[in-house]
Structure 1
Amino acid sequence: MPQPTPPSAFTPLRHPAFRLLWLANLASNTGMWVQNTGAGWLMTSLAPSPIMVSLVQAASMLPVFLLALPSGAMADIVDRRRYLIFAQAWMCAMGLLLCILTALGLLGPWGLLALTFAIGAGSAMNFPAWAATTPELVPRADLTQAIVLNGIGFNLARAVGPALGGFIIGLAGTQAAFAFNAFCFLILIVALVLWRREAPASRLPKEHFLSAMRAGVRFVGASPALRVIILRAVVFFFFGAAMWGLLPLLVREGLGLGPEAFGLLLAAMGVGAVGGGLLLPRARARLDRGGLVMAASLLASGALLLLGLAPRLALGGWAAAGLGMLLYGAAWIGAASTLQAAAQLSSPAWVRARAIGIYQLSFFGALAFGSALAGWVGTLVGVGWALWGFGACGAAAALAMRRWRLDQPGPAEVASPAMPQPEAPAAELAPLLAQDRGQVLEMVRYRIDPADRAAFLAAMADLRRARLRSGALSWRLYEDVAHPELWVEVWSVGSWTEHLRENDRLQPADHAAIARAAVLHRGETGPESARYIHQSL
C-alpha cells in the first residue's frame, strides 16, 4: 500500500493572518541577524579576547533565561497583540540607541554588552508570546508545520541576514547594521497593528501576575512530558552553544578572514537550516521525535568537530568550515523545531505562553552558559580544541538521552464511572465567595477494595499530577487507619476563582486520570466530593 505524501512545510501560508505575520517576522529576524553580526564583529575590535566575544552571545541569550517566565505569564494574562507590539517597540528603541552611540564613537565593550542585553530583554518578552500566538493563527492540524515554517523563516533570515550584515559593515560600518535592524522592527510593528486578533472570551477575571507565574511553574513541574522535553533541549543547546561563542574568533584568528566571510558562514548555516526544514516532513515520516532529536544532536556534534578541524587545514579550511555550518544549520532546525512542537502540543492554551517561557528559559540558559563556558575553555586550550571537546561531549550526551522518550503514550481509555460531583455552594456564602479571599480546600472520599490498593495508588499518582497541573497548591492522599478501604484525597487552591478555573484547565489526560481513580470506587453512589473555604480567626 503506498505511503501518504508528507505535507509541505509551506502549507500554513494558506492562512492570511499567519502569512502576514510570518513575512513581517522574516523581515524582523533578518534585521536581528544583521545586528548580531555587527555586535559580534564590533566586539572583536573593542575587546578581542575569546571570553569577551563569547559574552556577546551570552548577553543576548541571558535575558531570556532571566525573563522568560515573567514574560510568559504576561503574555497569558494581557492582550497578546498589544504585548507583542510593545516588545517590538522596545527593541526598536534599543537598536536606535546602539546605532547612535556607535556612530558617535561612545560605545565601549561593556556598553555593547549592556545594549545587547537590553535588546535580548525585548526578545525575552517576544519569544513566549510569539510561540503561543502560532496556535491562534492556524488550525491544530497545521500547527507542527507552522512551527517548522517559523523555523525555516528564522533560518532563511539567518542565511540572508549575516551575509547582508557583513556587507553592510564592510560598506558603512557597524552603526549602519544597527540602524537597519531598528528599521526592520518597524515592519513587524505595522503587521501587528494590522492583525485583527480575536481574543478568547472568558467568564472569569484575569489571573494575577505572581499567581500566574506560580501556576506555570506548577504545571511544568507536574508534567512529565514537558520535563523530558526540557531536559533534551538543555542537553542539545548547551553543547551546541560552542559554535555561537567561538565562531567570530574561529573566522578572524583561526581562518584569518574578515566580516564578509563571517557573515557568509552564518549564511551557510541558514541555508543548511532551510534545507533541513524542507526535508523535515519526510524525516518525521521515518523517525519519532526522540529519534529526530538524537540524529540532530549527532549531526551537530559532527559539525563542531569539523569546525574545530578547519583551522588546521591549510587549503581546505574555508570549505570545511562552510560544510560544518551547513550541517550545523540542518541539525539546529531539526532539533529546535521538533522540541518546540513537542512543547507546544504538550501545553494547553491557558498556560501555553508560560510553559513555552519555561522551556525557552531552559534552552536559552543552556545557550548562554554553554557559550560562556566555550569561550573560557577556548581561552585555556584554544578554539579548535574547545570545539572538539564540546562536539565529543555532545555526541556522548545525545546517546545517553535515548532512554528519555519524547513521544508519550496517550491516556488509557476508561469506562465512564460515576464522577465525583460536589454540592452547589450555599446561598448564604455567596457574598463570601464573591470576595475571592482565602484558600479553598477540596476533598474526595473513596471506598476501595483492598485487592485494588496497588491499582488505586498508581491511579492517584497520575491524579496528583493532574490536580497540580490544573492549579492545586498542595495535594495529599490519606488512608483511614481503622477502615483501610476508606481513602480521602485532599488538595487546596488559592481562591474560589482559582477553583472555578480548574474545570476549564483540565485536559483529556486529566479527565482520564480522574476516571481511572473513580472507576475503582466501590459503592452505590460515586465518590463523595466536598469543598471548604478557609476562614481567618
Structure 2
Amino acid sequence: MQRPAALAPLRHADFRTLWLANLVSNIGLFIQNTAAGWMMTGLDPSPMMVSLVQAASMVPVFLLALPAGALADIIDRRHFLIGAQLWMTFVALLLCILSWTGMLGPWGLVALTFGLGAGLAMSFPGWAATTPELVPREDLMGAIALNGIGFNITRAIGPAIGGLAIAWAGVGAAFLLNALCVLVLVGALWRWKRPVAVNRPAPEPFLSAVRAGARYVAASPAMHAAILRAVVFFLFTSAVWGLLPLLVREELGLGPEAFGLLLGCMGAGAVAAGFLLPMARRRLDRSGMVFVGSLLGALAMAMMATLHHWVFAALAMVIYGVAWISAASTLQAAAQIAAPAWVRARAIGIYQMCFFGALAGGAAGAGWIAGLIGVPTTLGLFALGGAAAAVLVRGARIDGEALREAPAATPPFVMPEPESAELQALLAGGDNRVLEVVRYRVPPARRAAFLAAMREVRRARLRGGAALWRLYEDVAHPERWVELWTIENWAEHLREAARMTEQDHAVLRHAATFHEGGGQGPEAARYVNVPV
C-alpha cells in the first residue's frame, strides 16, 4: 500500500523517531497551555491577565531566539536540545507542586509560564535547523509540513486531554502530564546518534556568531519577505489565543472540557488541512498559500465575533486550524530554505523572534482592547485588520528556490596567503579587522548595469559576514571602481568563502564580467589593521 505523500519523510528512521517523540512532547505543551489559560480565569478573570498567560509563553522567543539560534549553530545541537528539554521538565514539575500546595498566584503563574517559554525559545531554532540533517533535500519541504501536521495533531489531542485532566484531577495533574511528556523527547534525543561532521570548522565565538546571523538576515530579501508576511499573519490571528478562554467562559457559558474540545477542533482542522497541503501546493505558490490562510483566519475570527453558539464556535475553530497550518507551515518552510546550513538556526531564530513577538503583542493587545470594548467586538476588529493587512503585503513574495551550498567554495578572486611570520602572528591574534578590496575597470556606458549588479554583490558580502561594505568611483577616471568591505578578524575571513552559496558565487561572477582588464580579472587584495 502506497504511503500518502504527506507521510513520505517518515521512511527515514531518525526523523521518524524524533518526530514521534516530539509529538508526545507537544501533547504535553498543549495540556500545559490549556491548564494555564484555564487556571488564570479562576485566579484573575480580567481579559488582560488571561491574555498575559499566552503572551508570557511567547515573549521569551522574542527575547531569546537569536542567542538560542547562535548557540544551536556553534555547539553540539543534540546536547543543546537535551538541556532545553530538561529545563522545561523542571519548570513543569515546579508548576505542579505549587498548584497542588495552593501557593501559585496569578503573577506566579505568569512568571513560570515565562520560564517554560524560555525553554521552548531555546529549543525552537535548534529543532527547526535539525530537520535538514534528518532527511535528504528532496524530502525537506515534506518534513517541514509533516512537523506542522504533527504539531496540529497534538493541538487536537493535547487540549482535549488537558480539559479532561483539569475536570477530573485539577490543573496540577495537567502540569505533571506535561513534565512526563517532555521526558519522552529527552529520551529520544539521548538515543539519537547525530553524525559527526568531517572537517568541521572551529566554532565561532558567541557574540560574533550572533552578529553574523543578524547581518545575514539583514542582507537577505527572502528572509525579509518571510518575516513581514509572518508578522502580519500572526499579529492579527493571535487574538484567538488571547481571548478564547474568555469567549468560552463568558460568551458561550461553557467549562474547561468545552475549552479543550474547541482547541481540539482547531487541531483537527489543521491536521486535515495538513494532509491536503501537497495537493494545494500544486495549485498555489507559497505566497498564495499564505494569502489564502490569512483570509481564512479572518473569516474564523469574524464567525467567533458574531455567532455565539458552540456549534459555530467549533466550526470557526476548524477553519482557524486550516488557516493556521496553511500559513504557518508555508512561512516556516520559506524561512528555512532562505538560509544556508551555517546560519540556519540563527536565521530561523530571528524569524521566530519576529513572529512570536507578533503573537505576544497581538495576544496582549487583544486582551487590553477587549477590556475596553468587549471580546466579540475585539475579535471583529482583528478579523477586519487581518484581512486588510493580508491584501497590503501580498506583494512580498516568498517563492524563491532553496539555497544550494557551494561544495568547495573557491573565492572568485584568489589571493596568496601571507608569508611573513610577523604578519601571520598578527592575523592569529584574532582582534584585528581585515579589509578586502576588489578593483574594477568598467566602461562608463555600462555604469547603470554595473551598479545594479553591485547591489546584489553588497548583499552577498554582508551575508558572508562583512561588517561594512562600500563601493567607490574614481572622480577623475569614471571607469575605475573600488569595492571594499571589512571583516571582524582573520578567522571570520577564513569562514567567509565557506559561507558563500552557489547563488552568491553566481552574483560575484556576474559582477566580474563588467571588468575590462585585457584578459585579467578584477584585482583583489587584503589588508589587516595594524595597531600603532
TM-score scaled by length of structure 2: 0.96
- 1:233 maps to 2:230: yes
Corresponding position of 1:535: 530
CA deviation after TM superposition for structure 1 residue 200, in Å: 2.4
The amino acid of 2:375's aligned partner reads V
Corresponding position of 1:359: 351
- 1:136 maps to 2:136: no
Q: Indicate conservation of the 8 Å contact 1:60/1:120, yes or no.
A: yes
Q: Indicate conservation of the 8 Å contact 1:438/1:494, yes or no.
A: yes
Distance 1:404 1:68, change over 3 A: same
Corresponding position of 2:407: none
Corresponding position of 1:212: 209
Corresponding position of 2:149: 152
Q: Which structure 2 residues correspond to residues 90-169 of structure 1 after superposition, within 5 A? A: 90-169=87-166
Q: Indicate conservation of the 8 Å contact 1:421/1:528, yes or no.
A: no
- How far, CA to CA, are the matches of 2:158 and 2:347 in structure 1? 30
- How far, CA to CA, are the matches of 1:203 and 1:96 in structure 2? 38
Corresponding position of 1:395: 387
Corresponding position of 1:70: 67
The amino acid of 2:504's aligned partner reads D
- 1:386 maps to 2:378: yes
Q: Indicate conservation of the 8 Å contact 1:420/1:518, yes or no.
A: no
- 1:193 maps to 2:190: yes
Q: Indicate conservation of the 8 Å contact 1:6/1:281, yes or no.
A: no
- How far, CA to CA, are the matches of 1:409 and 1:449 in structure 2? 33
Superposition CA RMSD, Å: 1.5
- 1:81 maps to 2:78: yes
Distance 1:195 1:15, change over 3 A: same
2:427 pairs with one of 424, 433, 449? 433
Corresponding position of 2:340: 348
The amino acid of 1:426's aligned partner reads E
- 1:473 maps to 2:467: yes
CA deviation after TM superposition for structure 1 residue 513, in Å: 1.1
Corresponding position of 2:438: 444
- How far, CA to CA, are the matches of 1:420 and 1:496 in structure 2? 17
- How far, CA to CA, are the matches of 2:72 and 2:426 in structure 1? 31
Q: Indicate conservation of the 8 Å contact 2:43/2:105, yes or no.
A: yes
The amino acid of 2:385's aligned partner reads C
Q: Indicate the SS of the match to 2:393.
A: helix
CA deviation after TM superposition for structure 1 residue 57, in Å: 0.2
Q: Indicate the SS of the match to 2:524.
A: strand
- How far, CA to CA, are the matches of 2:43 and 2:142 in structure 1? 42
CA deviation after TM superposition for structure 1 residue 420, in Å: 2.3
- How far, CA to CA, are the matches of 1:489 and 1:368 in structure 2? 42
Q: Indicate conservation of the 8 Å contact 2:412/2:505, yes or no.
A: no
Q: Indicate conservation of the 8 Å contact 1:152/1:273, yes or no.
A: yes
Q: Indicate conservation of the 8 Å contact 1:99/1:178, yes or no.
A: yes
- How far, CA to CA, are the matches of 2:197 and 2:307 in structure 1? 53
The amino acid of 1:338's aligned partner reads T
Corresponding position of 1:414: none
Corresponding position of 2:455: 461
The amino acid of 2:464's aligned partner reads S
1:393-414 alpha-carbon deviations (Å, 9 max, x no partner): 1001111111111124799xxx
Q: Indicate conservation of the 8 Å contact 1:6/1:282, yes or no.
A: no
- 1:277 maps to 2:274: yes
Corresponding position of 1:318: 310
1:358-387 alpha-carbon deviations (Å, 9 max, x no partner): 000000000000000101111111110100
- How far, CA to CA, are the matches of 1:409 and 1:267 in structure 2? 35
Q: Structure 1: where are the runs of 5+ without partners?
A: 312-316, 412-417
Q: Indicate conservation of the 8 Å contact 2:286/2:399, yes or no.
A: yes
- How far, CA to CA, are the matches of 2:244 and 2:467 in structure 1? 46
Q: Which structure 2 residues correspond to residues 262-273 of structure 1 after superposition, within 5 A? A: 262-273=259-270
How many residues in Structure 1 have an aligned counterpart in Structure 2? 523
CA deviation after TM superposition for structure 1 residue 6, in Å: 12
- How far, CA to CA, are the matches of 1:359 and 1:292 in structure 2? 18
1:269-300 alpha-carbon deviations (Å, 9 max, x no partner): 00000011001111100001110000000000
Percent identity among equivalent residues? 61
Distance 1:258 1:410, change over 3 A: closer
Corresponding position of 2:406: none
- How far, CA to CA, are the matches of 2:510 and 2:22 in structure 1? 45
TM-score scaled by length of structure 1: 0.96
Q: Indicate conservation of the 8 Å contact 2:337/2:402, yes or no.
A: no
Aligned structure 1 segments of 4 or more residues deviating by more than 4 angstroms: none
- How far, CA to CA, are the matches of 2:528 and 2:431 in structure 1? 9
